[in-house]
Amino acid sequence: MEPISKELFQKEIDIYKQLSKENGNKCNWGECDNCCVIPLLYKIHKGILLEDEQEIKYIKKKNLK
């Protein structure tokens, strides 16, 4: 599988942020704290599977700023 471009990754993160903001920390997929969208996008973009819970929390927090 080819990784997604940085531009597409950022566009998807921006959509996620917008939905989360508009819907009180929820997007169309559910609660942001329990969501796997950002780790999935990260895997598709960077090719790295995030498995460590602390690392996942850090990546989510970093991308939801």
pLDDT digits over 1-18, tens only? 789 999 999 999 998 888
Tell me how far apart the alpha carbons of residues 61 and 5 are, in angstroms, rounded to a whole number. 21
Give pLDDT, residue 29: 66
Instruction: Specify the pLDDT at position 28.
Output: 65
* pLDDT over threshold 90, residue 24: no
DSSP H stretches of helix in the chain = 6-22, 37-46, 53-64
Q: What is the pLDDT of residues 26-55, one digit of tens each?
A: 766 667 777 888 889 999 999 989 989 999
